[in-house]
Amino acid sequence: MIRTLKLAASAAALLALAACGDNGGGGSASGTRAGIWSAGSSTVFPFATRVAETFARASNGAAPRVESLGTGGGIQAFCQGIGPTTPDIANASRQMKQSEFDLCAKNGVTEIVEIKIGFDGIVIATARNGNGFNFELNDLYEGLAKEVPGPNGTFVANPATTWNQVNAGLPNLRIQVYGPPPTSGTRDAFLELGMTPGAKLVPAAAAVEASDADRFEALAHTLREDGAWIDSGENDNAIVQTLTRTPGSLGVFGYSFLEQNLDTVKAETIDGVTPNADTIASGAYPLSRSLFIYVKKAHIGVIPGLQQYVQEFLSEGAAGKGGYLADRGLIPLPEDQLLAQRATIAAMTPMTRPAK
């Protein structure tokens, strides 16, 4: 579900982006738009809205418009071109892909500034009063992949219906997992951090990786379509609510949403590690990830306040220890990384093309 933060702006706040120039892509340089516009990850959404509120109070202006479209949806919109019909910022719960960077370049978005704002973990949660799970990483692949190893080197439709059929140490409960859709960065990260390394621990799947990397990726990244995995939209709060109404079900979402709902849900361990601020920041928790915002350098100096808004993300009050983003569940960057990201913002240093 798209959630949008829009505060009324006066007519005087309408911004012309003619200075951005025309490009052959999807964005037009003509027209006007009110204020800063960011779009993307549902995980980054609560952090971006909190920064927007603080920025609006400090500037006595309209709060930036923040939309939750999923990482993929936000970057697609961001990459359509330069000008008022495209977002200034893409919020992302994973790094931009090479294909997305190339789409941006094709549409005239040639200088993109990548800023890491902190860390988050992907949790597998259940209702607080439900059974406990202690997943091993390979359980994720063996329980949720559409195809798993069968006889004589074949791969077959996943036959497991209960978790104890996957691992005798898990509860005898139906496999029913509510998670994000394909447009979500949380889904992308779950596939990369959970399903892929889990598949590598299964000998038959690991053998496929050694001989056919593309086939292995398809096996590891294709989730079940028989009702065991249920796409639940971009609204992580809806997943949390579903767990309390569906005994035995599990949900996949960001750690920040766990922090906000500890009275109703609990996180399950993976390889014996509980997700918390320390295990996520250190990388000890297997499903740890970094969060990003991507900024159009061409819009800096054209959209009033854009650079100041970006600076607010990594201000001491927001991103420092005890900052207001930590109160929302964001795990802060270590001091050296924080200083490096502030330097990137100050110089607006464009990113290089991603390796993949």
pLDDT at position 184 is 85
Quick one: pLDDT at residue 238? 80
Amino acid sitting at position 271 = D
Instruction: Scan for tokens 């028989």, then name that residue.
Output: 226
**E-strand spans in the chain?**
4-5, 14-16, 32-34, 37-40, 65-68, 89-92, 112-127, 134-135, 147-149, 155-157, 177-179, 229-231, 250-254, 265-267, 269-270, 288-296
Q: What is the pLDDT of residue 32?
A: 60
- pLDDT recorded at residue 234: 64
Q: Are 107 and 80 in contact (CB under 8 A)?
A: yes
pTM of the model: 0.74
Question: ∠ at Cα 346 (342, 352), nearest 5°?
Answer: 85
- Separation of alpha carbons 242 and 343, rounded Å: 42
Digit-coded pLDDT (tens) for 154-191: 999 999 999 999 999 999 999 999 998 888 888 888 99
Which stretches in the chain have pLDDT values below 50?
1-30
Distance CA 109, CA 248 (A): 46
Count the Cβ atoms, other than its own, within 10 Å of residue 168: 8
